[in-house]
Structure 1
Amino acid sequence: MTDLTPAILEPDLAIVDAHHHLFHNANVTYGAQDYARDATSGHKVIASVYVDAHSFYRPDGPEVLRPLGEVEYANGIGAMARGGAFGGLGLCAGIVGHADLRHGAAVGELLDRAMAAAPERFRGIRQTTMDFPDERPYRYFMSGKPPMGVLEHPRFREGFAELARRGLSFDAAAFHHRLPEIAKLADAFPDTPIIVNNMGIAMALDTEGEDRRDVFALWAANLTDLAQRGNVTCKVGGLGMPFWNLGLHERTEKAGPEELARLWQPLIETALNAFGPARCMACSNYPPDSRSASYVDLWNALKLATTGFSGDERNALFHGTAKAIYRLDLP
């Protein structure tokens, strides 16, 4: 009988999955057991960082405080993991919650309560700022269309300043053409760690030929410029999402790790050459990336695509940077 179990490349390379979600909404359900099943399927995933998914919010109370429910949920999962519920997997060892910084200084109460609710795990917030001039990308959002114009809101920076006062980080989710605004934010708050999600996604959906080349040229230029800010780091992942227009999500059969690595390597190398591996952290971006790759093949592909880097550089990429940036308390 043929063994259909996927081979695990470099099974002893420790991984901190720097970006995943847990969902429970009308579009998708993907809970702790689902993620644990994927993360323990062969690779040496020792811990994970939970990033907001607009799920598990409190159903009532002041709107500014409702995201606290997601932090409380993720912290409970983290406590279960610390108690051995998922074997050796440190699930939700770090937590990136949500705060709507358009509330200005009022988000301070939310941040304080999140820090009190999850003192060992809460490390910062993400507010999605994925503006685009038409509706193309939003059909693929698992949490619905995000609000537009967040970065330009008159109270956004007032709210952002509350992060700096508490030593918290900001996960920046933006498409490639908005990366200059993230650079301005980094310049204005040089002491606040900013983590670019999914390599500052090149939104190339429905483009081809010269138009597609122009998207990727602008993405590379903007990402390289952003990397000049020392307080900015970069998550390497998210390449399984449709926005990159690699065609993976449209296939009935998922690509294998060799094909994934071939498609992803030039993009990954752009990010790594811009930031350096010591300022990059690999991630699964699961479950959104499950549209294009299994969890096992995704990590195999990330390993294959980075074989040209040194052992120390890859240790930083696969676990060291995430552990440092998110101040993870790992055994």
Structure 2
Amino acid sequence: MSQDISPPPHIPVRPDWLSLHVEEALEPSLPIIDSHHHLWQFPDKTYRSTDLLHDLASGHNVRATVFIECQTCYRTDGQPEMASLGEVEFVLKEIEAARKAASPTRVAAAMVGHADLLLGARVTPVLEGLIRCSEGRMKSIRNIGVWHADPTVRASVATPPPHLLMDPRFREGLSRLAPLGLSFDAWVIHTQLEELRSLAGAFPDTPMVLNHVGGPLGIGPYHARRDEVFRQWRTSMLELARYPNVHIKLGGFGMTLFGFDFYNRPRPPSSAKVADVIRPYVETCVEAFGTQRCMFESNFPVDKGNIAYGVLWNAFKRVAAQASVAEKADLFHDTAAQFYRIEAI
């Protein structure tokens, strides 16, 4: 493992490096919904529909995808709280571009947007605007809550205040989701899972999905403490599983916070190698939550700095190789379709 305890949150994508290892898709007919990916246009990096379609052409049967907010292309005029509608407008244009390219995948069949829940009751017009602007694709809202007191723990590019999920104003805002048919995408790290447990208990009628298996840290003060962190994380996840409104996304393993520094190696990892590394985390989540509350995600292009798209889905298929037909359907397609209310594909 690298001795760098504070790597950048996003590893640059190196197409030439990724091309050093290419695999044919395993179980190429297995229906998939990619439950978590981004599209963005930033001064220093882009990931547009053409880039996504290139990754989708790796041989897997990805029927639909779920776009996740990433604070791109926000409106620069009008009411500040409405700025995130600009991201939805950007994604709709990318959807149209994918249609014109005759993509067999329903890109962004569902969307997860951003509305500042710290607005409390005043967030309702923003939520209504997102639903209306998205042409009905808006299914969930994400406010990133990742925070740690140690500055070497750079687990996200976002900088939320500490204990966001415990803030009364935030909770007042979150109470506005369920009446509008919206869910909540939670992104916190393993040291914050008790806060998510409190939130899930306070809002049992709000469906929630925890991104990236709850972020068991492998950087900063947690570097070289993987077994200890795993035990703490597993205990927290088993407790969180008691709340039936909470679901789990199985992925994000290419993020630097895990400390799996594939990017430092001469060649990109094989799916067998990735499967060996991620298996304990996936199996723990499935054991705790069951397949009907677990869904695989690519987290692209964030994870693309470490793992190629086709290789990643092969790794997921290797981990799930002993699952039944029904369990595989849940993990790769049905749970995401149910949670994000995606019509039959």
TM-score range, shorter chain: over 0.9
**Other-structure match for 1:214:** 228
CA distance in structure 2 between the partners assigned to 1:54 and 1:308 by the alignment: 38
Secondary structure class of the residue paired with 2:90: helix
CA contact (8 A) 1:186 1:194 kept: yes
Q: Matched residue of 1:91: which SS?
A: strand
**1:176 touches 1:219 (CA, 8 Å); kept in 2?**
yes
Identify the match of residue 46 of structure 2 among 12, 24, 29. 29
Which residue in 2 is equivalent to 1:269?
283
How do residues 250-269 of structure 1 correspond to structure 2 at under 5 angstroms?
250-269=264-283
- Most deviating of 6-15 and 147-156: 147-156
Report if the CA contact (8 A) 1:258-1:304 is conserved: yes
Q: Distance in 1 between matches of 2:158 and 2:84?
A: 17
1:51 aligns with 2:77: no
Question: 1 CA distance for matches of 2:170 and 2:25?
Answer: 44
Q: Does the CA-based 8 Å contact 1:120-1:329 persist in structure 2? A: no
Higher RCO (C-alpha under 8 Å, 6+ residues apart): 2
Corresponding residue for residue 13 of structure 1: 30
2:242 aligns with 228
Distance between the aligned counterparts of 1:137 and 1:27, measured in 2? 23
CA distance in 2, matches of 1:184, 1:41: 40
Which residue is 2:123 aligned to? 107
Q: 1:326 to 1:79 in 2, by over 3 A?
A: farther
CA deviation vs aligned residue, 1:207-264 (integer Å, no higher than 9, x gap): 355x332211111111111111111111011111111112323324211111111111
Equivalence map 1:63-142=2 (5 Å): 63-81=80-98, 83=99, 85-138=101-154, 141=156
Measured at CA, do residues 330 and 69 of structure 1 come closer, stay the same or move farther in structure 2, by a change above 3 Å? farther
Q: Where in structure 1 do 4 or more consecutive aligned residues deviate above 4 Å?
A: none
Q: What's the C-alpha RMSD, in Å, of the aligned pairs?
A: 1.8
The offset of 1:110, in angstroms, is 0.8
1:155-194 alignment runs, 5 A limit: 155-194=169-208
> Could you tell me how far apart the structure 2 residues matched to 1:62 and 1:215 are?
43
Q: 2:78 — aligned with what? A: 61
CA contact (8 A) 1:23 1:31 kept: yes
- Give the Å deviation of 1:47: 0.5
- Secondary structure of the residue aligned to 1:218 is helix
Unpaired runs of 5+ residues, structure 2, are 1-19
Cα drift, residue 326 of structure 1: 0.4
Contact 1:94 1:328 in 2 (8 A): yes
| Counterparts in 2 of 1:104 and 1:208: CA distance versus 1, 3 Å | closer
- Matched-pair contact (CA < 8 Å) for 1:64–1:106: no
The AA in structure 2 aligned to 1:265 is R
1:147 alignment counterpart: 160
The normalised TM-score by structure 1 is: 0.93
Q: What aligned pairs does 1:261-300 form with structure 2 within 5 A after superposition?
A: 261-300=275-314
Indicate if the aligned counterparts of 2:49 and 2:95 stay in contact, CA closer than 8 A.
no
Distance 1:22 1:75 in 2: 11
| Aligned length, in residue pairs | 324
Residue 120 (structure 1) shift: 3.0
Q: Distance in 1 between matches of 2:243 and 2:249?
A: 15
2:166 partner SS: coil
Bigger mean CA offset, 24-33 vs 124-133: 24-33
Any unmatched runs of 5+ in structure 1?
A: none
**Alpha-carbon offset, residue 126 of structure 1:** 0.4
Q: CA deviation at 1:136?
A: 2.3
1:317 maps to 331
The answer (yes or no) to whether the contact 1:242–1:248 under 8 Å persists in 2 is no
Deviations for 1:33-69, whole angstroms, at most 9, x for unmatched residues? 1011101221111110000011011112222111111
Instruction: Check whether the contact 1:164–1:189 (CA below 8 A) recurs between aligned residues.
Output: no
User: Within the alignment, does 1:329 sit opposite 2:343 as a pair?
Assistant: yes
**Aligned residues of 2:32 and 2:333 also touching (Cα < 8 A):** yes
CA distance, structure 2, for counterparts of residue 198 and residue 27 of structure 1: 24
Distance in 1 of aligned mates of 2:238 and 2:122: 34
